[in-house]
Structure 1
Amino acid sequence: MSEKHLVCQGAICSCTYGATPDKLKVLTQTKRYINDKEGSTKLMATNMDIGATFEKNTFGPCKMQPLPGGGFKPCQIVVTAWTGFYEKITLQDNNGKALLEDSKATCPIGGPDCIKIIDHGQTAEVSAQNVENADKEVLAELMPFVDLGENKNTIYHIINSNQ
């Protein structure tokens, strides 16, 4: 799993045969959050997140479903299976395996692995622990006008106010 991100609620996915991306919705569990210090928005996605599991449930017009007069029928996302998930993590809640940023999904219309993850959904956030563990010389280079003798919570708030 080296250097691969776990996937969470809000991950952006696209289909080989669609025109627009959609955001993944985790509907199979409600307890396991990742990359979310408040523990309220970024549920971990698993291979059990199948069916209609996207916000809009469409990738736009589906190139696999042409209309007789031209154009294409609208896509209606139905995930039947995921591949490329991380075998070493199994959630007790849904018995699912963690999805990775290179996991792919199967749709009955588009076929195996036609849906891919284009953004895993995680975001980088600086925490107080990051500031605590940071090298003072690195902090001095990043913030030359900040007195590093100040309380580290103050430094943490300075960093987060600039994001």
Structure 2
Amino acid sequence: MASDKSLVCQGAMAQCQQGFVPDLLKVLSQKKYYINDQAGSDKLIGNTMDLGIPFEAGTFGQCKLQPTGSSFMPCIPNIIQWDGAYEKVELANGGQILTKTSKAICAIAGSAVIEFMTTGQMGAPSVTNFEEVSQQMHQQLNPLINMEKVLKKNPLEGIEIISKNF
């Protein structure tokens, strides 16, 4: 099976093997490098300098490694290192870019127990995606939009909605 070298950015969902709930990556180590974000304001690239607690909620629920009788203590990550980063690029902060296969070493577990479930990147269709679909498929998926007109012009101009009574 080929490894997934998709780059990770702010909003990537991560899970600790010793916790019960996922959390979203919050890039705190840099404010310069973005990916998958036309406005360049939301999708900061995750990197190996995102240490400590670089997550939105700052917890993975309860920690299986810290029982307290009938329950567990909170699973608060303490990332001390990342394994499996993309080593061919180094950012200005000295960090290497995280990938979907990167894993974080937590000080509590002492091993790489935090891994990514998603990359945080969002797919966005382009004109090419629409051009590659048959006219019949367009009519089934978008019955109120005349895709022939849309594809001949700028996709944001000339959209014609045909009103039908259903």
Q: Is the pair's TM-score, using the shorter chain for normalization, greater than 0.5?
A: yes
Shift of 1:138: 3.0
The one-letter amino acid paired with 1:110 is A
Deviations 1:99-120 (A, max 9, x none): 0001000111122110011111
The one-letter amino acid paired with 2:112 is D
Match of 2:120 in 1: 121
CA distance in 1, matches of 2:66, 2:75: 8
Match of 2:106 in 1: 107
1:66-81 aligned at under 5 Å gives the runs 66-67=67-68, 69-81=69-81
Is 2:4–2:101's contact at 8 Å kept on the other side of the alignment?
A: no
Shift of 1:14: 0.6
The gaps in structure 1 that reach 5 residues or longer are 159-163
CA distance in 1, matches of 2:9, 2:3: 18
CA distance in 1, matches of 2:17, 2:116: 11
CA distance in 1, matches of 2:66, 2:54: 21
The gaps in structure 2 that reach 5 residues or longer are 140-145, 161-166
Match of 2:85 in 1: 85
Match of 2:143 in 1: none
Aligned partner of residue 138 in structure 1, secondary structure = coil
Greater C-alpha Rg:
2
1:12-161 aligned at under 5 Å gives the runs 12-67=13-68, 69-92=69-92, 94-126=93-125, 130-131=126-127, 133=128, 136=131, 138=133, 140-144=135-139, 145-148=146-149, 150-154=152-156
CA distance in 1, matches of 2:129, 2:13: 31
RMSD: 2.4
Percent pairwise identity: 41
Is 2:4–2:99's contact at 8 Å kept on the other side of the alignment?
A: no
Aligned partner of residue 47 in structure 1, secondary structure = coil
Shift of 1:142: 4.2
TM-score by structure 1 length? 0.83
